[in-house]
Structure 1
Amino acid sequence: MNSVTQDVLVWLNSVVIGLNLCPFAGKPTRENRVRFSVSEATTEEAVLKDLVSEMELLDKTPVAELETTLVIIPNALQDFFDYTQCLGWAQAQLKRQGWLGVYQLASFHPDYCFAGAEPDDVENLTNRSPYPIIHIIREASLEKALEYFDDVDEVPERNKVCVAALTAEQKKKLFPYLFKL
């Protein structure tokens, strides 16, 4: 396992699953059905090609073998604005390829900032990751998972409360990539 994948696996297990920010992430991770695809892309166009390749792989692979894919982008899209622009193109790609309703994309970035939030707002921590990541989620799997969770609409607010309660030391431990000099 390379260091990029290792960094993301630590983040997934300690932040996403460890803080229960996504109540659906634990099961497929424990069952080894999460693919960590490290993109070598250095341009937006290459990132989009990698996303298409990953969705084609998901099309061909049964959910029992592969639930979801994290496309990790260590060599491009370091600027959050560029990342969000590429994410918009990726959403358009879903439509062009006929994947609307089949897949949805979730976004994570070291400088993630929710619309209407200030860059230093604590709520942004819920989507801050060691590298830019585009998470490809199977819609059918998400719908099935939602059947087992009450109050899923409360997850974002619960997550804000959770990260707001972290001490400075906990933040440094969970998000070391945000505190590098």
Structure 2
Amino acid sequence: MDTLRIEVSPAFDDYTATAEFMTLLQEVADSSPSDLPTALFVVPNLYQDFDEYWNWTLICDDLLVQMGYEGLLQLATFHPQYVFEGEDADDMSHFTNRSPFPMLHIIREQDIEDALTQIRFPERIPERNRHHMRRLGHNGLLNIMPSLAGTAVFADNDDQSTPDN
């Protein structure tokens, strides 16, 4: 956590946020992995609508490729109302990618590859994460992370059901 960079953008427009993202992307790419292994880019003033956010992430991913960082860096996406296509709207699986604010996680691909060598059946990670969130349920998640109560992560979730068994 000492080397995790969290950049909170004060931007209120796409152009500024995207320019700031590109600057951080370049900074991560140009830094040594020991100095700056990963970074979060948070945009609390923009992209409250998930579809707008998703469209912006596609632009950011294209920029990553255009800047020549494909194979070096990749993006993970997080949003308060993250929804996986094909899942029921109230499914707990969405919470694996929910966060209090819209953000992008810039990750070094080598770090992911290194981590995957330590995990048995890495292709099952997404399903294990979804299963874990479903088992926890809303109440279980709030017991672990009570600070999420009252945030946009739970804004559209009036159902505070118990974990599924």
Identity across matched positions, percent? 31
Q: What is the Cα deviation at residue 87 of structure 1?
A: 0.4
1:107 aligns with: 77
Structure 2 gap ranges (5+): 159-165
- Does the 8 Å contact 2:29/2:73 carry over to 1? no
Aligned mates of 1:166, 1:121 — CA distance in 2: 12
Which residue type is aligned with residue 107 of structure 1?
Answer: T
From the two aligned structures, give the one with the greater helix fraction: 1
Which residue type is aligned with residue 151 of structure 1?
Answer: F
SS of the counterpart of 2:21?
helix
Which residue type is aligned with residue 82 of structure 1?
Answer: E
- Count matched residues: 151
Aligned mates of 1:167, 1:97 — CA distance in 2: 40
RMSD of aligned residue pairs (Cα, Å)? 1.7
1:36 aligns with: 6
After superposing the two structures, state which structure 1 stretch, 100-109 or 41-50, moved more: 41-50
1:119 aligns with: 89
Of residues 75, 92, 95, the one that matches 2:45 is 75
Structure 1 gap ranges (5+): 1-28
1:98 aligns with: 68
TM-score, length-normalised on structure 2?
Answer: 0.84
Aligned mates of 1:120, 1:128 — CA distance in 2: 13
2:113 aligns with: 143
Regions of 4+ moved over 6 Å: none
SS of the counterpart of 2:136?
coil
